[in-house]
Structure 1
Amino acid sequence: MKKSRTLQGIYQHPSFPSFMMLILLVIINALLQPNFFSYRSFKSNLLTFTPLVLISIAQAFVIISGAVDLSIGAAISLITVLMAAIMGDSAVSILLAIVCAFGLASLLGLFNGFFISYLGPPPLIMTFATSTIWFGIALYIMPTPGGYIPKIFYRSYKVDLFRILPVPVVVLGFAFLLCVLISKLRFYKHLYAVGGNAQAAYASGIHVLSVKIRAFLLSAVFVALSAICVVAQTATGDARSGLGYTLNSVAAAIIGGISFAGGKGSVVGAAMGGLILGLLINIIYFANITSFYQEFTKGIIIIISLAIGAIPRLKREMSQYY
């Protein structure tokens, strides 16, 4: 009896469909790439997937709160440009660039969170507007890719700690630990309450506006981490480097089982969604399929994920009539 209940709980978990999809894509990748499970291939994929996984987690916190952040990619662009403009060969300049990355991400998140919470514009419109502002500033600072990224910085991203542990594993491990610690806080429960029903949350004594602002600030931490990884991966400052991450982060969150209406899903599911998109891009590349089908397939997967997420609701509604 207990075993059947446990299995039922696993099947009904919001992240279960994305987990099965992840397994399927791993199998397909392994069939297309004979060396897919080799250490070299694993490390190469990890270097590429890490920024996407981090930005998917960042978007997840915002969507769970009942909002969405369309400025998330432009924020990465602006941060990478700033880091490339600040960095030099000295350890102080590298440390300063990293601190500025977190500081700028926090300011951008605070700006979005404050205006959305206190002035009440739709998050979709507000963050779309700020995305154009962040992108415009990034282009003004660095119209063409450039700046300076020291070798010690971008090479450090590709080394193995103790010769066995890739740096991206450490970064993702830190992100996972941070998510676990956050999940233990009262704020985490408030986040779901506000995303599920803001009025009910307010009636129960939750400071709704504060929770929404903190959701954007929390998201900013992972935006900064993602931007740092992008800089280390590309070894340059580029105002266009983050633009592809906006829709991918939203897609990853939805694929990972997070409700676009807010209040449901998990950051772990969003992280799996990021991995799914990364593996999907791999399949498109190694199967020599044109880029059109990459976007087409991504759209189909999102629709399937939305349909799967709607099944429990449809079952409840049908049970009322039959």
Structure 2
Amino acid sequence: MKFNKIFNDELDHCYAIMRLKNEDKDFVVVASEEEKPCYAYDLNNNYARTVVWPDVGGTMTMVQIPNTLNFLATQRFYPGFNSAACRIVKETFNGVTWDQTVVGEFPYIHRFDIIKKQSGSGYWYIGCSIANSKKDTDDWTDPGKIWVGEYDDSLSKVENLKALSLSLTKNHGYKRMNGYSLITGVQGIYKLTHPTESKDWQLEQLSDIETSDIYSADINEDGKEEYLTIEGFHGPYLRISDNNFKSIYRSEADTPFGHAIWGGKLGNKDYFIFGWRAGKQNLELISSDRLDSQLIDQQVGPSNVTVFEKNNKKYLLSANREANQVAIYEIEVE
């Protein structure tokens, strides 16, 4: 497998990323976690850059509103988890750039999502707070919560907001699955099943191992998905587990500040991609359930990564935070 860096741009503390495609328009969007810009790069026009917003930043999560070029994003979640003033905004594409509407104030919300309802119109809202309050950066005495509600896109508003009974310390990971979401924290990994006509939100603990982030892929080709988890808040361990969350392999503590994570098919096989923000700050391709890896890039300290397809070619988008670099790599499957 070859990864050729075909594009890079400077963005201080780049963090949140998203592919934003609808009909004939096609962008990747990257936002900073500092009071810096959010940029959209036009994949149909040689990565031409548009400023989505210039200087608010503090963005941890961006979510596309289906079948549009509009999206929701957190802002003001600034480094050091100083995020009592965190908010969610809606960005509406006007044909050239994006117009902003403030959805509301959502203190300490680190990850969030909207899920299209199975019946009727509208979306479910899920928000995971990293804490409920903080006296300082190292204060974790007031755990975060999982918030649920309904998002009305016509009003750009979250309604019927409530917190589930679970208190979740140091939530960092979130992964949308089919009909449910995986949510992680010090208490382990939880499965949050989305409501149906007959059932309300259902929360089930799948693992009690402290987990920072999670992704799934059939890495060992047994026909069942395995899970790659970053263990401990921001690392430093990696673990591969089977589909029942039984451990297959665990690394040494050699990936400090583990952060970027992705899993899926490249060519005819599933892989994981992983990067960490301290020490060697490598970005790597993981090819087996023994965590065999190939170096993609070094000393870049990625915060988030995703793979996308364009004109029958695969590309890796990486927010190389420690290098202040937005990067796109063309993937050559050998």
Q: What TM-score bracket applies, with the shorter chain setting the length?
A: under 0.3
The structure with more strand, counted as a fraction of residues:
2
Q: Give the structure-1-normalised TM-score.
A: 0.23
The structure with more helix, counted as a fraction of residues:
1
- Work out which of the two has the higher radius of gyration on C-alpha atoms and give 1 or 2: 1
Q: Which has the higher contact order (CA 8 A, sep 6+)?
A: 1
Q: Give the structure-2-normalised TM-score.
A: 0.22
